[in-house]
Chains A and B, each alone.
Chain A
């Protein structure tokens, strides 16, 4: 008995609680590996290959402090409702109160901090869900011809060529593909061959114009029947290559079509995962893509990952610097800059996760700021490089400190005060402690600006995380970094003075 597991990757403790209840009820949950590709076709495909749909909907705190939830989870729920999949929903009680009309009446509330408070109720509804699935309510698999694909083209020659290109790519991947279109309104409504071709296909690809056409009617039919579909829309003014929440992928030219289609198609072909432990859930939340490799024994090698010219960085820094009254260098100014950058990133509501897997054991992949922005997650060294990039872009003098404590490595970022006196050689632990005490070096826990649920990342306390809503305010992030450097068993493995290191490399 399998069910699709729709959940928020960042809420590992909540996911762990519910996945254990489903495990005990002998319902296996299948979930998608987090990636930067939002693939509607894959979700539509799996909606019919699972007996049911399980949704765990935790709360999010929006920038204006209002209660909300992930739009992606909302989309998955809409998909399940459209597919008439048997479903069970657990919704954060505050989300349910604020957005009651978004959810079916069967939604079951939970308290985010201690979902086990209502364990008996949760066990009861999961047991009923299991009985429903076993009693014949499970969604029967969709009937289609494996490896058959229908490509629906718009009317323009450019779209017809693009559809032929897509069909050729599908054939190269051993699919039997046919290209069809709707020449008029009647054909779109009444061409039963085209409609049956949609129903019988494993996958449909729509190559449509920016403006609505008759072929869009066929997309509407596929959409209503939850037929796995890739939605390619030609848009000469497209600004993003990422799939939209609706599943639409926009492309500007014939050259862009192939990579954009392949990005979604390859995700469609990837398999779902079956998480059975907290570690599995954490792994699912860790996107496998992204990042470039860094040898952790090569401290100065981190320079390549500090990218003040990254567009994500410059956008945020420009916004923050515009809001600061004075550019006069002083300790106060540096504190304002760093605090403002930190608070800006907090608003993004990123979350803490592990590093992407690397084939090289002696290397760690570090995500760029733009990748963090796209994936909404990162590990400590990702965030350290991102903050160092932002501080450098803001004309501060960033430093990066990599530590080792009891076999575990961690990193914090910070900056030199404008009147700080540096060392000729890399500082030792005592030097660093002295500089922190005197304010010559200011360090902060960069993961404090992101959500870390269900525990701590470094030297912050659980209560500090809890009080900050899984994050830390800037002062607490500084305290946590100071505490880390003050620990008895801490070692400083790398200290990188970014400005000096760049001069040394020049």
Chain B
């Protein structure tokens, strides 16, 4: 079954090159092993369970992110990154005009990835050769952690949501992921998946697979001594189509 929220997946991938976690609150961790199914990462195990350890992680700097598509104000004006316009002083209304239309607002987004990718690649290939690794498996090698995020995705071609703050402040330019706003859903209409100011999410991930065919690489190597192995060349990244059509 294909992803029900293609637009969300496509746009987030187009912006950042990562797959969007679906459902957005799903638990996903570095080193998780799984398959793609209906636009989701279905966990089947972990590197640890296969006896593959990774020595540590690399982390990027934290930043705030804001993306949206096919999301409009109630009055019909276009909604972009600074999309959200107050209905009343402490309320905002967002209308979605296509399936997969979304608002993604996150604070403290930080990229985290497996540090020693070469070693992990070597161990995965050994597991593959031992028959412990299935060809269709993917491993999560990087992801984004959000301190707080508001993610609203429409599963209908038309839907609407109204958010309300617990303080009487204008919301127009404030990040909707800011937990201090105390946002909550005032009303909604249509089929929507929504997380409002949820904390400690992993809304985006990146994964690897064993290259198919594994042994399609050339068998002749230059004679230049024994450097690092080229295990990473035997792994590849799945395309967004693999997710959308899963």
Contacts and interface: CB of A to CB of B under 8 A. Distances in A.
A438 B240 contact: no
A431 B17 contact: yes
Contacts of A423: 236-237, 239
B70 interface: no
Given A420-B232, A421-B232, A438-B142, A430 B16 contact: yes
Contacts of A328: 227-228
Contacts of B141: 421
A197 B237 CA distance: 77
Contacts of B168: none
Contacts, number: 69
A418 B14 contact: no
A363 interface: no
A420 B206 CA distance: 13
Main secondary structure of the interface of A (DSSP, over half): mixed
Given A329-B228, A438-B111, A422 B233 contact: yes
Given A430-B240, A437-B111, A503-B218, A421 B14 contact: no
B17 A419 contact: no
Contacts of A435: 17
B212 interface: yes
B118 interface: yes
Given A430-B13, A430-B16, A438-B111, A424 B206 contact: no
A437 B17 CA distance: 9
A171 B113 CA distance: 75
Interface in B219-238: 227-228, 232-233, 235-237
Contacts of A370: none
A376 B157 CA distance: 57
Interface in A411-439: 418-425, 428-435, 437-438
Main secondary structure of the interface of B (DSSP, over half): mixed
Contact of A434 (B121, B206, B236): B206
Interface in B115-160: 117-118, 121, 141-142
Contacts of B118: 419
B208 interface: yes
B110 interface: no
B54 interface: no
Interface residues of A, number: 22
B12 to A, nearest CB: 8
Given A329-B228, A434-B16, A434-B206, A428 B239 contact: yes
Contacts of B142: 438
A479 B227 CA distance: 31
A438 B236 contact: no
B233 A434 contact: no
A425 to B, nearest CB: 6
Interface in B21-55: none
Given A329-B228, A421-B237, A423-B237, A428 B117 contact: no
Interface in A32-87: none
B212 A424 contact: yes
B17 A425 contact: no
29 contacts: A328-B227, A328-B228, A419-B232, A420-B232, A421-B141, A422-B233, A422-B236, A423-B237, A424-B211, A424-B212, A424-B236, A424-B237, A425-B239, A428-B13, A430-B15, A430-B240, A431-B13, A431-B240, A433-B14, A433-B15, A433-B16, A433-B17, A434-B13, A434-B16, A435-B17, A437-B17, A438-B17, A438-B111, A438-B206
Given A424-B239, A438-B142, 14 more contacts: A328-B227, A419-B117, A421-B237, A422-B233, A422-B237, A424-B211, A424-B237, A428-B239, A431-B240, A433-B14, A434-B206, A437-B111, A438-B17, A506-B218
Interface of B: 13-18, 60, 111, 113, 117-118, 121, 141-142, 206, 208, 211-212, 217-218, 227-228, 232-233, 235-237, 239-240
